Amino acid sequence: MGKPNDLVQGTLDLLILKILSLEPRHGWAIAKRIQQVSKDTLQVQQGSLYPALYRLEHQGWVKTEWQESVTGRKAKFYSLTRAGKKRLETELENWDRLSSGINLIVRLT
Amino acid sequence: MRTIDRLRSWIRSVVYRRRVDRELDAELRFHLDEQIAECLAEGMTLTDARAAAQRTFGSVTFTKEAARESLGLRLFDELAQDLRHTFRSLRKNPALAAVAIVTLALGIGANTAIFTVLDGVMFKPLPLPRADELVTFYENGPEGSADPSGGTGRFLRFSYPRFERLEQALGSSGTMAAATRSSQFAVRVPQDDRPHFVRAQLVSNRFFETMAVAPAQGRLLTADDVRGEQAVAVVSDGFWRRILNGSSNVVGRSLTVNGLPVTIVGVGAPGFVGMWTDAEAELWLPVTLQRSLHYANNSSSYGPADNTASWLGQDAVAWLTLVARIPAAHRAQAVPLLQAVNHAGVVALADTFTTPSARDTMLAHTLVVEPFSRGFSTLRSRFSDALLLLTLLVSLVLLVTCANIANLLLARAAGQARELGTRISLGASRARIIRQHLTESFALAMAGGAAGWVAGRWASALLVRQVLATGGPLPAVFTTDSRVLEFTIGASLLTAVVFGLAPALRAAQMGRMTVLGTNQRPIETATRLMRSLVIGQLAFSIFLVFAALLLGRTLLNIMRIDPGFARDHFVYASFDPITSGYPPADMPALSRRLLTALEGLPGVNSVSVSRCGLIAGCASSSGFRLEGTAEGGKTLYENWVTPAYFATTGIPLVAGRTFDEGDHETAAAVAIINRTVADRYFAGQSPIGRRLGFSQLDTEIVGVVGDARTQTLHEEPVPMVYFPIGQKKVALGNAALTNLDVRVSGDAAQAVGAIRDAIRKSEPALLVNEVAVMEQRIERDLSRERVVAYLAFSFGALTLLLASLGLYGVLSYGVMRRTAEIGVRMALGAQRGQVVRWVLGESARLMAVGSAAGLIATALGARYLSGLLFGVTPLDSISLMAVMITFAVVMTLASYLPARRAVRIDPIRALRQE
């Protein structure tokens, strides 16, 4: 959609998996967490967040459960499955390789 | 694993669509509320907070759709949309839907029916566990070969001693069993007054073990039953239901089979009908009861046989079909051993022969192992060519049907080009348009397929009855089972692709072109495709009609064959005295009583009794010596007849005399030969006065009669020798009289009842199978030709209709889309004749190309016909001409309506429309 904070294609999955590996969260909290940790650099639009979450669930990497949130309302919490944890590892490796590769190029003098 | 997870997730999403929707809603609302709460915390008013949150949030619908897409639900959503669209568009165009579904139902129904019969006759395995382990055996001899598919012929039969040696040789490599051909036995159930004619098999002790059949009730036959000649029987599930009314505790009940009281020990598993799929056995008895049950059918003897003693100890009598279950791992090692053991038996048998030529022939026999997974079928060899041809024809019918529907869809798509263009402009993808059109095709194909399934079930039952010439219950092998259902579904899916793909692609293309503003080109491409489809239809239907014509002429030609006997005013009765309990010695007396009973009837001109009837599937042949000819046996077909036989049947006397009352038991033995024997062995000389016989030349030839097609109208007359029933010099043995012929002066059909009553009154104990007019046997004999001709005719008529509809459609469409042009031309003074010529010229062009393609199709298809034709060549030019003229006439008629519509175009209105 051409928004300034659009994430590199495919990295959203990695971010979600990483956030969820720390503890289960609902969608809103995931978006907030990504924003906080990145110090507002990364803002996940819900228009990309929910399709991504559903896709991850569809692929069996995250599972969901309705639980009470801090405010006392029922919310849908996402957590990693075993396959999701494995997936996170491979995604992290990929990311390391990719980012070091990109770094090598952009720091070229 | 992940694929399964994904599939499960998808299925869950589809099944719990509502819940997924609700959850998604709740989740998004929660997100929105949190956003609002945050905005409130930042100090906004509630209204501002809501607006801000909505702004940040963006389109809820868009998010929802994207989320649903992630779940793989989008395809499903679109499918639902497409289906709704399909229903709307078909409801808007009910004529198209009706034509498509009805023609598809006919096409798929015809294919289903033919497939049912084809599968039942050619492919369906026996309903037995591991049927691929089953094998049967036959001998290959230099003098002929067996019909290993139908289980007939002497090369498939073995003697009991030979079977025992082979079974022993097989040892633990498998199990082997011997069984007679399933043949009619007379069964009396105590409380029923009339006997039931039931097909039964005499079987050896490991028969059920070899077939791997379990009892449904009681037990099956054991080695003790067979060795101990126990009068016990196993009945089929069908027998139990039909004859014993499915009553409980049938085990232990008694039946009278061919006069012998037997006890039922068990009921076979449902579905087990023995070794012949289309001649289902319902009763199995120990093979050792052969003598007690007076079984004397389907045998051949390789030397002197004693029919008064049991066949079990006689190596010269071949009467048992062998079947074995040999696991594939053991086959390579077992087969050579069996062949060696069989050869030893052949050598022993050959040693008993006196003539060296007969001995050499016998020694050349070798054992062949044949897969038996499909069982025997009496129809397989007779109908395989016919069924393959019908399969070809019926596939063409379906193709022509598909072309028709494709044309309808194309015409409609062309009419909707603008709408499609609009949709593409609004963002519909090409794939989406194609998918939507295919959805419609699949919906049509499924509706047509469902109707076709119902029609096919009905038609296949009708067809099987025609093929088997029976009105009774149909063999289970022809039930429309899951195999047929799979076929029908597969055929429907395939047709959907065949007729739907091209229009779908064209629709997308036309839509795109409309967007680009090229208004004429899409129409042109559609028209071009429609024309080619009509040409294809014409070509295939020309071949089909041509085939129908040739097959119809074949039927007529065979029906017109002079059989050598007079077929009208002719009634026959077939009966079974041995099974009824008459001793073989009684045959001459029985024949005298029958003649006396019938000769006095009004309207009866002449009566005779014989061993075999005409076209009755009864044959007996032996190797005879003929005086004055080269040494060695001549295979002649025999019949035993009463003196009036030739007068009754109308077989003319050519030389000498016929039999008379003087040819009795103590008079000199006499015989009559037919012209084929006279011409073949006594060429140029008179055979009268010559003698013939087996070991001694003791029988004098007193007459020569004309040739008659005694076995089937399909074959040239066989060499025949006739003997008088009164003379027992030539061993009649167990061979019973089975036939009575009556020549009547009036209508044959009306005489049947009186003849049946007279026989019953004279011989109440005689089991009479059938009393009918001779035409009935001839009709049965021609069942294949009739079935093939009728079906080809229906297929031809259907495709002719479809092709003319196709042509009509293309021409009408052409007139419709050029309405404006025609209007302008007419406004500028074009004559009506010119407009008609334009439409007819278009029709003639299509017809010309279609005919040329039809000639090619005919030339290619003709070779599939050649084996089934009689009295007409596969490229008969007169027939071809007739077909072309028929097509020219029908197609001109089909062009008439569009031409009329063209000349009635009102120039003013046509121009205004534009």
**Boundary-marking domain end, from B700, B732, B766:** B766
- Is residue B444 in a domain? yes
| Minimum-distance CB partner of B63 among A47, A74, A76 | A47
Separation of alpha carbons B771 and B749, rounded Å: 10
- pLDDT tens profile B562-609: 999 999 999 999 998 877 778 777 888 899 999 999 998 999 999 999
- pLDDT tens profile B179-193: 999 888 889 898 887
pLDDT of A4 higher than 60: no
Query: Which residues of B sit within 8 Å Cβ distance of A?
Result: 1-2, 5-6, 9-10, 13, 23-24, 26-28, 30-31, 33-35, 37, 57-59, 62-63, 66-72
pLDDT of B840 higher than 80: yes
pLDDT of A1 higher than 50: no
Give residue B730's pLDDT. Answer: 47
Range with top average pLDDT, A90-104, B68-82, B114-128: B114-128
Instruction: Report which residue type is found at B528.
Output: R
Give residue B667's pLDDT. Answer: 87
Residue among B340, B317, B381, B385 at smallest CA distance from B148: B381
Name the residue in chain A with its Cα closest to that of B7: A58
Using a pLDDT cut of 70, give the percent of chain B over it. 96
**Over residues A20-45, mean pLDDT:** 87
Residue among B642, B823, B616, B634 at smallest CA distance from B723: B642
Beta-bridged to residue B217, according to DSSP, are B267
- Tokens standing for residue B819: 């309405």
Contacts of residue B887, Cβ cutoff 8 Å, sequence gap at least 6: B538, B541, B542, B545, B800, B803, B847, B850, B851, B854
| Minimum-distance CB partner of A60 among B5, B57, B67 | B5
Overall domain count for chain B: 4
Chain B nearest C-alpha distance from A99 (Å): 27
For residue A106, the tally of other CB atoms under 10 A from its CB is 7
Q: Would you give the DSSP letter of residue B144?
A: B
ipTM value greater than 0.85: no
- Is residue B87 in a domain? no
- Is residue B250 in a domain? yes
- Is residue B774 in a domain? no
Partners of residue B71 in chain A, C-beta under 8 Å: 54-55, 57-58
B551 and B604 inside one domain: no
- pLDDT tens profile B102-134: 999 999 999 999 999 999 999 999 999 999 999
- pLDDT tens profile B655-713: 999 999 888 888 888 999 999 999 999 988 899 999 998 778 889 999 999 999 998 89
- Is residue B301 in a domain? yes
Q: What is the 3-state secondary structure (H, E, C) of B320-347?
A: EEEEEECCHHHHHHHHHHHHHHHHHHHH
Using a pLDDT cut of 90, give the percent of chain B over it. 47
Q: Please count the residue pairs, one from chain A and one from chain B, whose beta carbons lie less than 8 angstroms apart.
A: 76
- Is residue B24 in a domain? yes
B348 and B392 inside one domain: no
Give residue B1's pLDDT. Answer: 46
pLDDT of B631 higher than 80: no
**Over residues B722-745, mean pLDDT:** 77
B228 and B344 inside one domain: yes
What are the structural domains of chain A?
A: 11-106 (1.10.10.10)
Is the CB of residue A63 less than 8 Å away from at least one CB of chain B?
no
Residue among B393, B402, B389, B392 at smallest CA distance from B537: B402
Separation of alpha carbons B115 and B103, rounded Å: 18
Q: With DSSP H G I counted as helix, E B as strand and the rest as coil, what are the percentages for chain B, rounded to 5?
A: 55, 15, 30
Residues B710/B679, Cβ–Cβ less than 8 Å: no
B172 and B321 inside one domain: yes
pLDDT of B239 higher than 50: yes
Name the residue in chain A with its Cα closest to that of B65: A51
Residues B673/B693, Cβ–Cβ less than 8 Å: no
pLDDT of B72 higher than 80: no
Prediction pTM value? 0.80
Chain A nearest C-alpha distance from B811 (Å): 51
- pLDDT tens profile B547-565: 999 999 999 999 889 999 9
8 Å CB contact of A46 and B68: no
Name which of A105-109, B123-127, B311-315, B316-320 the model is least confident about.
Answer: A105-109
Give residue A2's pLDDT. Answer: 35
**Over residues B888-898, mean pLDDT:** 88
B426 and B519 inside one domain: yes
Structural domain range at position B606: 577-766
| Minimum-distance CB partner of B70 among A28, A51, A76 | A51
Separation of alpha carbons B56 and B422, rounded Å: 33
- pLDDT tens profile B513-525: 776 665 566 667 7
Cβ density class B26-59: b for 16+ within 10 Å, e for less: ebbebbbbbbbebbbeeebeeeebbebbeeebee
φ, ψ at A107 (rounded to 5°): -90, 5
B329 and B394 inside one domain: no
Give residue B834's pLDDT. Answer: 85
**Over residues B279-283, mean pLDDT:** 93
B326 and B406 inside one domain: no
Give residue B771's pLDDT. Answer: 93
8 Å CB contact of A47 and B35: no
pLDDT of B286 higher than 70: yes
| Minimum-distance CB partner of A27 among B27, B37, B69 | B27
Give residue B780's pLDDT. Answer: 87
Is the CB of residue A54 less than 8 Å away from at least one CB of chain B?
yes
For B215, the 3-state DSSP assignment is strand
Give residue A7's pLDDT. Answer: 53
Partners of residue A26 in chain B, C-beta under 8 Å: 27, 30
8 Å CB contact of B31 and A71: no
- pLDDT tens profile B377-391: 988 888 888 999 999
Separation of alpha carbons B733 and B721, rounded Å: 17
Which candidate in B7, B23, B24, B34 is best for mutational testing of the A interface (most A CBs within 10 A)? B34
- Is residue B104 in a domain? no
Which candidate in B16, B24, B70 is best for mutational testing of the A interface (most A CBs within 10 A)? B70
- Is residue B875 in a domain? yes
B820 and B703 inside one domain: no
**Over residues B256-277, mean pLDDT:** 92
- pLDDT tens profile A60-88: 889 888 888 877 788 889 999 998 899 89
Mean pLDDT of the residues in chain B = 87
For residue B99, the tally of other CB atoms under 10 A from its CB is 17
Separation of alpha carbons B817 and B812, rounded Å: 9
